[in-house]
Chains A and B, each alone.
Chain A
C-alpha cells in the first residue's frame, strides 16, 4: 500500500536520476521501512508514555549531528547513531580511513570532551573505520537499450552496515 503512494512522496527517498548513485542501506530505504527493515538513528526513551524531554532530546540531536558533520568532514560513511542509556550519551560512528589514525584520535577525544562539558553528562564515542563506502545499491538511470539487457546481477555488495 505504501509502495503505491511512493510516487507522490518525496521524504527521505533517493530517486534514480542521470548518473550512477551509490546508495547505502540506510539511505536506500524510504521511511515506511523504519521498524521493518531499518532501525532508528536516535534512540531515547522520552517518547514513551509519561516521559518528558522529547523536545530537548530532539534539539540536542540536531546540534550533535551538525557538529559531527562539521568536525569529521568527509569522514562519515553513514549518519551517526545516537543512543542514550541512563545518563550516558553514546555516539556511534562509521568513519572512512581517509586521514591518519592519530588525527581520528584527536577529533574523537575533542568531541567527547566538548560534548561532556556541554551537556553535563558522560558522552562516549564508539567508532569503527571502513575503507570504502558501504554500498547497498547502485542507482543508474536506464539508457535507451537497457530493456534488452539482463537484470543487474547480485554482485552489488551486500555489506549491511551496522546500525
Chain B
C-alpha cells in the first residue's frame, strides 16, 4: 500500500548513498551501537531483504516489522524484482566472510535507505533520523535482563563461607576494610609516584597513573594561585593569596572569586583525603573546632553536629572583606557557603548586602536562602512569610526557579504545620505551571508534610504513586532516594499492604535498588518487613523473609521480634525451628527477651512428638549456652520463666533428667518454679516411672513452701506405686509443709 511521506530528500541524493561500499555501510551500523541496524545482508550494496506483502520471511519476528515498513514505502514491488534481489542477496549471505551475525532489528530501527530500482515508482522517501546510542547501551540492555538474585549476598562480598558477613555490623566492617585497603594502596602510590610512572598501557589509562597533587609552579604569582585552587589545596591557596597581597600585586576578580568558591565549598578546611601522606594530615587536624551557634537553631538539628562549623572570622570572610571590588558572584558564593555550613543569620545579612548593592543573585543562592529560611523564624506563619518574600524577590530579579528551588520550599513547609499543607499543594500547582517535573524528593517532602505521623489519611500517597508509576523517574535531587523510605513509613502507618506492594514494585522496576545506599536500603527493608509481619499471612511473610534475608537485610532484634509475633498470630509453630536456626545465625540468642518469647511460644500447647523433640533440642542448645556463660548474661527476672519453660519442654519431650536438671538450676538461682512446671515434671517422672524422683520433687516443692505441696503429695500417693517406707517419707514431708503453713497462719 503506497503511503506518501512528506519531507523526502531529493532523488539526487540517492545515487550518492548507493555508492557507499559494503564496508562503510557495515561500519556505520556498528558505530551506531549495533542496535539500530536492520538486518544487513553483506553483499553488493548491502541490500535489504524484502519480500512482497503477505509473504512470511524466514526470520525472527522482529525483522518482519521492519521489512514490512520497507515494503510499505517502496510501494508495490513487483515479484520479479524482489526475486532477483533476493537471489543476489542470498548468494552472498551465508558464506560471507564478513562477520555480521544476525543483527536483529529493534523496534524503532533507523531504516537504512537502500537501492531504488529504476522500475520502482518514485515515492517520497523519508530517511529517519539516525539514532545514536550511548557507549554502554549494550551493557545496560544486558543488565536489564538480569534481576536481583535473592540467594546471594552483596556483590562486594567475596564468595567464600568464611568471608560472608553474618550481621549488619560485620558487613559494614568488611566494606570499610576493603575501602581502607584501597586507600592504603593509594597512599603508597602517592608517596612513591616514581615507581608507578612507567606508562606501558596502550592507549593511555589516566586513572591508573599516580595523581599529581603537588603544585608545580613555584613562586608567588597568580598562575600559582590558580594552580593551587585547581588542586583543591585550601590552606596553600590562602597563603599564596596573602603573599600576593603583601607583595602588592593585584589579584584579578575572577581568581578571587574562584578562591572564594573553594573556601566556601570546603568550609575553610582541607578536603578529606585518606591517602595523603602524613605531613599534610597533621596540619589539618589542628584546625578542627566546630562552633555551635546559638542563633538560627530553632529547628532541631537532626543532621548531626558537624554541620555548624562556619567559624567566626574565617578565611572566607576575611578575604571577602579585603576584596577591593566584589561582584554578584562573590556575594552568591558567600551566601551559599554560609548556608551550607550553618551560619544562617550571616547568610541573610549577606543577602541584604547583596540587595543593597543592587546585584542579581542566581538560582543556587536563592535555593540556599530558601533552605535557610525556616530556621530563621519561630512561627510557622513567619516562616511562610519569609519564604514568600524570597520568592517575590526572585520573581523581581527574573530568576528562573528550578527543581531544587521547589524542593527546598517544600522541605521548609513541613515545619509550617497546617499552613504548610495548603501551601504545599499550591507549590505543586506552581511547579506544573512553570513546567517543571516534580522529582521524587518533592514527593517525599509532601509526604512528610501530610502523612508521616500516624493518623494521617492515605489519599495523598495514592495520588503520588499514580503519578510516579506513569513516568520514568530521573534522579534530580540528592534527597530523591529518601522518598522510598518515607513512602514505606507512610504505608506502615496506614497499615496498608496494597500500597506497600505498589511502592515495592516501583523500586523493583528498572533496577532502582541502585538508588538506595546501604543505610537507606536497610531502613526501607526493615519497614517493609514490619508491614508484612503486621498484615500478611505467615506463608507470604516467610516467602518475603527468604527473599530479603540475608541479601538485603540483616535482621535486628526488633525485626526478629515482629517475625515471632507473626508466627504467634498465625499459630503456625512448626516454623519455629527454622526461625530458631536463623536466630542462632544472626546471634540474637543472647538476648533474653527473644529467648523468653521463643520459649513461651514453644510451651503454649502440646505438640506432636516430633515437634517436641525438635523443641527439646533447641532447649538443650539454650541450656549449653547458659552453662557456658555461667548465668552472667541474664538478670533475675528472666531466668525464672526461661528455666521453667525449658523444664516444661524437656518434660514434654520425655527427657526427664534434663527437666530435673532445670529444676535444680532453678533452685540454685533461688527462683520459684510455677505450678505448671511442677505438674509437667511430675508427668514426665510418672512416664519414666521413678518413684524416688517423685519424692524428691515433693521435697523440693516443700522446700519452696509452695501451697500446692499437699496436692502434689496426694497425686504422688495415688499415681505411683510406693513402698511403705516411701509413703512414710511422703507423709513426713507433707506434714512438715502443713505445719509450716499452719505456723504461717
Q: Using Cβ atoms and an 8 Å threshold, which residues of chain B touch A97?
A: 162
In contact, B181 and A105 (Cβ under 8 angstroms): yes
Give 1 or 0 for each of B179-202: 1 = CB within 8 Å of chain A CB.
Answer: 111101110110000011011110
Q: Using Cβ atoms and an 8 Å threshold, which residues of chain A touch B176?
A: 102
Q: Using Cβ atoms and an 8 Å threshold, which residues of chain B touch A112?
A: 182, 185
* Residue A121 lies at the interface, judged by CB distance under 8 Å to chain B: yes
In contact, B189 and A114 (Cβ under 8 angstroms): yes
Q: How far is the CB of B158 from chain A (nearest CB, A)?
A: 7
Q: Which of A104, A109, A110, A119 lies in contact with B163, CB distance below 8 A? A: A104
* Residue A46 lies at the interface, judged by CB distance under 8 Å to chain B: no
Known: A117-B208, A120-B200, A120-B208. A106 touches B184 (CB 8 A): yes
In contact, B180 and A106 (Cβ under 8 angstroms): yes
Interface positions of A from 83 to 137, Cβ below 8 Å from B: 97, 101-114, 116-121, 127-129
Q: How far is the CB of A63 from chain B (nearest CB, A)?
A: 11
Give CA–CA (A116, B173) in the complex, Å. Answer: 24
The residue of chain B having its C-beta at the shortest distance from the C-beta of A104 within the complex is B163
Q: Using Cβ atoms and an 8 Å threshold, which residues of chain B touch A110?
A: 181-182, 184-185
Known: A109-B185, A113-B185, A120-B201. A129 touches B196 (CB 8 A): no
Q: How far is the CB of A24 from chain B (nearest CB, A)?
A: 19
In contact, A128 and B201 (Cβ under 8 angstroms): no
Q: Using Cβ atoms and an 8 Å threshold, which residues of chain A touch B178?
A: 105-106, 108-109
In contact, B181 and A129 (Cβ under 8 angstroms): no
Give 1 or 0 for each of B488-526: 1 = CB within 8 Å of chain A CB.
Answer: 000000000000000000000000000000000000000
In contact, A106 and B181 (Cβ under 8 angstroms): yes
Q: Using Cβ atoms and an 8 Å threshold, which residues of chain B touch A106?
A: 177-178, 180-181, 184
* Residue B401 lies at the interface, judged by CB distance under 8 Å to chain A: no
Q: Using Cβ atoms and an 8 Å threshold, which residues of chain B touch A111?
A: 181, 185
* Residue B205 lies at the interface, judged by CB distance under 8 Å to chain A: yes
In contact, B189 and A109 (Cβ under 8 angstroms): no
In contact, A102 and B174 (Cβ under 8 angstroms): yes
Interface positions of B from 47 to 76, Cβ below 8 Å from A: none
Q: Which of A101, A104, A118 lies in contact with B196, CB distance below 8 A? A: A118
In contact, A103 and B201 (Cβ under 8 angstroms): no
Give 1 or 0 for each of B145-179: 1 = CB within 8 Å of chain A CB.
Answer: 00000000000001010110100000001101111
Interface positions of B from 252 to 286, Cβ below 8 Å from A: none
Known: A101-B174, A110-B182. A117 touches B210 (CB 8 A): yes
In contact, A118 and B195 (Cβ under 8 angstroms): yes
Q: How far is the CB of A3 from chain B (nearest CB, A)?
A: 38
Give 1 or 0 for each of A19-58: 1 = CB within 8 Å of chain B CB.
Answer: 0000000000000000000000000000000000000000
Q: How far is the CB of B240 from chain A (nearest CB, A)?
A: 30
The residue of chain B having its C-beta at the shortest distance from the C-beta of A109 within the complex is B181
Most buried by B among A103, A113, A114, A117: A117
Q: How far is the CB of B109 from chain A (nearest CB, A)?
A: 31
Known: A110-B182, A113-B182, A114-B188. A105 touches B174 (CB 8 A): yes
In contact, A116 and B181 (Cβ under 8 angstroms): no
Interface of B is mostly: helix
Give CA–CA (A110, B180) in the complex, Å. Answer: 8
Q: How far is the CB of B200 from chain A (nearest CB, A)?
A: 5
Known: A106-B177, A127-B158. A116 touches B163 (CB 8 A): no
In contact, B182 and A128 (Cβ under 8 angstroms): no
Q: Using Cβ atoms and an 8 Å threshold, which residues of chain A touch B160?
A: 127-129
Give CA–CA (A129, B160) in the complex, Å. Answer: 7
Count residues of chain A with CB under 8 A from any CB of chain B.
24
Q: How far is the CB of B555 from chain A (nearest CB, A)?
A: 21
Q: Using Cβ atoms and an 8 Å threshold, which residues of chain B touch A108?
A: 158, 178, 181
The residue of chain B having its C-beta at the shortest distance from the C-beta of A119 within the complex is B200
Q: Using Cβ atoms and an 8 Å threshold, which residues of chain B touch A113?
A: 181-182, 185-186, 189
Q: Which of A109, A118, A121 lies in contact with B182, CB distance below 8 A? A: A109
Give CA–CA (A161, B180) in the complex, Å. Answer: 31
Give CA–CA (A51, B266) in the complex, Å. Answer: 52
In contact, A114 and B180 (Cβ under 8 angstroms): no
Q: Using Cβ atoms and an 8 Å threshold, which residues of chain A touch B173?
A: 102
Give CA–CA (A97, B163) in the complex, Å. Answer: 10
Give CA–CA (A127, B185) in the complex, Å. Answer: 19
In contact, B181 and A120 (Cβ under 8 angstroms): no
Known: A101-B174, A104-B163, A129-B160. A117 touches B196 (CB 8 A): yes
In contact, B208 and A105 (Cβ under 8 angstroms): no
Q: Using Cβ atoms and an 8 Å threshold, which residues of chain B touch A127?
A: 158, 160
Known: A105-B158, A109-B179, A118-B196. A129 touches B185 (CB 8 A): no
Give CA–CA (A71, B468) in the complex, Å. Answer: 51
Known: A110-B185, A114-B185, A116-B208. A101 touches B162 (CB 8 A): yes
Give CA–CA (A120, B173) in the complex, Å. Answer: 29
Q: How far is the CB of B744 from chain A (nearest CB, A)?
A: 60
The residue of chain A having its C-beta at the shortest distance from the C-beta of B185 within the complex is A113
Give CA–CA (A14, B200) in the complex, Å. Answer: 39
Q: Using Cβ atoms and an 8 Å threshold, which residues of chain A touch B209?
A: 117, 120
Give CA–CA (A120, B195) in the complex, Å. Answer: 12
Give CA–CA (A107, B158) in the complex, Å. Answer: 13
Give CA–CA (A116, B201) in the complex, Å. Answer: 11
In contact, B163 and A129 (Cβ under 8 angstroms): yes
Q: How far is the CB of B693 from chain A (nearest CB, A)?
A: 45
Give CA–CA (A32, B627) in the complex, Å. Answer: 57
Q: Using Cβ atoms and an 8 Å threshold, which residues of chain A touch B182?
A: 109-110, 112-113
Most buried by A among B158, B181, B196: B181
Give CA–CA (A113, B165) in the complex, Å. Answer: 23
Q: How far is the CB of B205 from chain A (nearest CB, A)?
A: 6
Q: How far is the CB of B395 from chain A (nearest CB, A)?
A: 52
The residue of chain B having its C-beta at the shortest distance from the C-beta of A101 within the complex is B163
Q: How far is the CB of A95 from chain B (nearest CB, A)?
A: 9
Q: Using Cβ atoms and an 8 Å threshold, which residues of chain A touch B162?
A: 97, 101, 129
Interface positions of B from 188 to 229, Cβ below 8 Å from A: 188-189, 195-196, 198-201, 205, 208-210
In contact, B185 and A120 (Cβ under 8 angstroms): no
In contact, A103 and B185 (Cβ under 8 angstroms): no
In contact, A117 and B177 (Cβ under 8 angstroms): no
Give CA–CA (A93, B568) in the complex, Å. Answer: 48
Give CA–CA (A51, B201) in the complex, Å. Answer: 18
Q: How far is the CB of B331 from chain A (nearest CB, A)?
A: 43
Q: Using Cβ atoms and an 8 Å threshold, which residues of chain A touch B184?
A: 106, 110
Give CA–CA (A107, B165) in the complex, Å. Answer: 17
Give CA–CA (A118, B205) in the complex, Å. Answer: 12
Give CA–CA (A107, B177) in the complex, Å. Answer: 9
Q: How far is the CB of B692 from chain A (nearest CB, A)?
A: 48
Give CA–CA (A117, B186) in the complex, Å. Answer: 9
Known: A97-B162, A102-B174. A117 touches B181 (CB 8 A): no
Q: How far is the CB of A111 from chain B (nearest CB, A)?
A: 8
Give CA–CA (A111, B208) in the complex, Å. Answer: 14
Q: How far is the CB of A52 from chain B (nearest CB, A)?
A: 13
Give CA–CA (A128, B164) in the complex, Å. Answer: 12
Interface positions of B from 318 to 364, Cβ below 8 Å from A: none
In contact, A105 and B163 (Cβ under 8 angstroms): yes
Q: How far is the CB of B274 from chain A (nearest CB, A)?
A: 13
Give CA–CA (A109, B186) in the complex, Å. Answer: 11
Give CA–CA (A114, B195) in the complex, Å. Answer: 11
Q: How far is the CB of A126 from chain B (nearest CB, A)?
A: 9
Q: Using Cβ atoms and an 8 Å threshold, which residues of chain A touch B165?
A: 101
In contact, A121 and B158 (Cβ under 8 angstroms): no
In contact, B189 and A121 (Cβ under 8 angstroms): no
3 smallest beta-carbon distances between A and B, as pairs: A109-B181, A113-B185, A120-B201
20 other A-B residue contacts (CB within 8 Å) besides A106-B177, A108-B181, A113-B181 = A102-B176, A102-B177, A104-B163, A105-B177, A105-B181, A106-B178, A106-B181, A109-B181, A111-B181, A113-B182, A113-B189, A116-B208, A119-B200, A120-B199, A120-B201, A120-B205, A127-B158, A128-B160, A129-B160, A129-B162
User: Can you show 6 pairs from A to B with CB atoms below 8 A apart?
Assistant: A101-B165, A103-B177, A105-B158, A105-B178, A107-B181, A113-B181
